[in-house]
Amino acid sequence: MKHICTFFIALFIVFNTKAQLPEKQQETTTTEQQLESLTENNEDAETEDDAFLQQMLQYQKNPINVNYASETDLKELRILSAIQIHNFINYRNYIGILIDVYELQAVPGWDVATIQKIRPYITVATNANLVTTIGKRLVGGEHSILLRVSQNVEKAKGYKIDQNTSKNYYPGSPQRLFMRYRYNYKNLLQYGIVAEKDAGEQFFKGSQKQGFDFYSAHIFAKNIGLVKSLAIGDYTVNMGQGLTQWMSLAFKKGPDVVATKREAEVLRPYNSAGEVFFHRGVGITMAKNKWQATAFASYKKVDANFAEGDSTITQDDYVTSFQTSGFHRTASEVTDKGINKQLAFGGNLSYQLKNVHVGFNAIQYSFKYPLQKSVEPYNLYALSGKNFGNYSADYSYTHNNFHFFGEAAISSKKYPAFINGLLISVANNVDMSFVYRNISKGYQSLYTNAFTESSTPTNEKGLFLGISIKPTTAYTISAYADFYSFKWLRYRVNAPTTGSDYVIQLNYKPNKIFEIYTRFKAESKSINYNPNNITLNPVIPQPKQAWRTHLVYKINPQITFKTRVEAVWFDKKGLAKENGFLLYADVAYKPMMKPFSGNIRLQYFETDGYNSRLYAYENDVLYSFSIPVFYDKGYRYYVNVNYDISKNLTVWARVSQYVYSDKTTVGTGLDEINGNHKTEAKLQLLYRF
DSSP string, 601-622: EEEEEEESSGGG-EE--EE-ST
pLDDT of residue 480: 98
CA distances from 243 to 362, 371, 450, 451, 457 (A): 11, 20, 6, 9, 7
More confident residue, 166 or 295: 295
Residue 171, pLDDT score: 95
Average pLDDT over residues 596-622: 96
Dist CA 182 CA 179 (whole Å): 10
When pLDDT is cut at 50, 70 and 90, the band that residue 312 belongs to is low
| pLDDT given for residue 7 in this prediction | 37
| Residue 489: closest CA among 536, 539, 524 | 539
Measured distance CA(581)–CA(634) in Å, rounded:
11
Whether pLDDT at 27 is above 70: no
Q: What is the pLDDT of residue 133?
A: 63
- pLDDT of 547 over the 80 cut: yes
| pLDDT given at position 396 | 97
Whether the CB-CB separation of 677 and 684 falls below 8 Å is answered with no
Q: What are phi and psi of 441, to 5 degrees?
A: -65, -20
Q: Is it the case that residue 129 has pLDDT exceeding 90?
A: no
Residues 648 and 120 sit within 8 Å (Cβ to Cβ): no
Q: What is the CATH number of domain 29-62+142-688?
A: 2.40.170
Average pLDDT of the residues in 265-278: 95
CA 150/CA 406 separation, integer angstroms = 42
Per DSSP, the residues of 213-229 read SEEEEEEEEEEETTEEE
Using alpha carbons, select from 79, 194, 28 the residue that is nearest to residue 619.
Answer: 28
Claim: this prediction has a pTM higher than 0.85: yes
How much is the pLDDT for 21?
Answer: 34
CA distance linking residue 601 with residue 620, whole number of Å = 11
- Check if the beta carbon of residue 573 is closer than 8 Å to that of residue 588: no
Q: Report helix, strand or coil for 354.
A: coil
Query: What is the model's pLDDT at position 16?
Result: 38
- For residue range 438-493, what is the model confidence (pLDDT) as tens digits? 999 999 999 999 999 999 999 999 999 999 999 999 999 999 999 999 999 999 89
Specify the pLDDT at position 9.
38
Choose among 408, 373, 367: nearest CA to 390.
408
3-state secondary structure of 598: strand
The DSSP bridge partners found for residue 280 are: 234
- Given a cut of 80, whether residue 23 has pLDDT beyond it is no
Q: Helix or strand or coil: residue 242?
A: coil
Nearest CA to 681 out of 655, 658, 659, 657 is that of 655
Sign of CA dihedral 206, 210, 212, 214: negative
Among 96-105, 187-196, 484-493, name the one with the lowest average pLDDT.
96-105
Q: Is the pLDDT of residue 363 over 80?
A: yes
Q: Do the beta carbons of residue 316 and residue 364 sit within 8 Å?
A: no
**Read out DSSP for 294-337?**
EEEEEEEEE-EEEE---GGGTPPPEEEEE--S----SHHHHHHT
Given a cut of 50, is residue 4 above it in pLDDT?
no
Decide if 456 contacts 490 (C-beta within 8 A): no
Residue 236, pLDDT > 80, answer yes
Which residues, including other chains, have CB under 8 Å from residue 190's CB and lie 6 or more apart?
141, 182, 183, 184, 218, 219, 220, 269
3-class DSSP state for residue 159? helix
C-alpha to C-alpha distances, 648 to 144, 594, 612, 685, nearest whole angstrom:
9, 15, 45, 10
The answer, yes or no, to whether residue 316 has pLDDT greater than 90, is no
- Summary count for the chain: helices (H), strands (E): 8, 36
Q: What is the DSSP string of 2-25?
A: HHHHHHHHHHHHHHTS------S-
Winning range, highest mean pLDDT, from 48-57, 104-113, 591-600? 591-600
What pLDDT score was predicted for residue 314?
56
- Strand residue runs (E) in 315-401: 318-322, 340-353, 356-371, 385-399
The mean of the pLDDT values for the chain is 91
Q: How far apart are the first and last CA of the chain?
A: 53
pLDDT, residue 3, reads 41
Closest CA to 262 of 122, 453, 78: 78
For the cut 90, the answer to whether the pLDDT of residue 149 exceeds it is yes
Share of the chain above pLDDT 70, in %: 94
Strands 64-65 and 122-123, by their bridges, are: parallel
Residues 92, 96, 97, 100, CA torsion sign: negative
- Ranking 2-16, 397-411, 649-663 by mean pLDDT, the lowest is 2-16
Name, in order, each residue with C-beta under 8 angstroms of 543's C-beta and a sequence gap of 6 or more.
522, 523, 524, 570, 571, 572, 574
DSSP annotation of 493 reads: B
The pLDDT value recorded for residue 365 is 98
Question: Coil, strand, or helix at residue 109?
Answer: coil
Residue 587 φ then ψ, to 5°: -120, 125
Question: 120-129, 167-176, 181-190, 404-413: which has the minimum mean pLDDT?
Answer: 120-129
pLDDT at site 10 = 40
- What is d(CA 202, CA 151) in angstroms, rounded to the nearest whole number? 14
